[in-house]
C-alpha cells in the first residue's frame, strides 16, 4: 500500500513540471559537458600537433589552457545547476509540499 502523501505529491501537476524541468536541464548540462570533455579528448587523440604548439617562447602549449578551460567550464556549469536548483527547483518543491500538506 502506497503512502497517501507520496501519491498526492506524484499527482500534483507542479511535481510533473519539476521533474520535467530538472531532468531537461540536467540532460542539457550533461550534453554540454560531454561535448566539451570529449571534444578535448578528441583533440588529444586526433590533433596532437595543434595541442602541442607552444605559446610564445615558453614551454606552455596550447593544450594546457584548453585543458584548464575544460576544468573551469565544469565548475561554471556546476554553479549554474546549483543556482537554478536552489532557486527554481527548491521553490517548486516548497510549493508542492505546501499544497500537499493542506
Please report which confidence band the pLDDT of residue 78 belongs to, taking 50, 70 and 90 as the band edges.
very high
Count CA atoms closer than 13 A to 35's CA, side-chain side.
7
* pLDDT value of residue 4: 85
Whether the per-residue pLDDT at 3 is higher than 90: the answer is no
Per-residue pLDDT tens digits for 13-42:
999 999 999 999 999 999 999 999 999 999
Nearest-angstrom CA–CA distance, 48 and 66:
13
Asked if pLDDT for residue 95 goes beyond 70, the answer is yes
Please report where in the chains the cell 614551454 appears, as a residue.
59
Q: What does the DSSP 8-state code read for residue 15?
A: H
Amino acid at each position: 500500500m502506497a503512502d497517501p502523501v507520496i501519491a498526492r505529491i506524484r499527482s500534483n501537476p507542479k511535481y510533473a513540471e519539476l521533474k520535467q524541468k530538472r531532468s531537461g536541464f540536467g540532460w542539457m548540462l550533461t550534453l554540454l559537458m560531454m561535448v566539451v570533455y570529449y571534444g578535448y579528448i578528441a583533440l588529444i587523440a586526433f590533433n596532437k600537433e595543434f595541442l602541442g604548439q607552444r605559446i610564445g617562447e615558453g614551454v606552455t602549449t596550447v593544450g594546457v589552457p584548453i585543458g584548464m578551460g575544460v576544468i573551469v567550464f565544469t565548475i561554471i556549469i556546476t554553479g549554474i545547476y546549483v543556482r537554478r536548483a536552489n532557486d527554481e527547483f527548491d521553490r517548486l518543491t516548497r510549493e508542492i509540499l505546501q499544497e500537499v500538506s493542506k
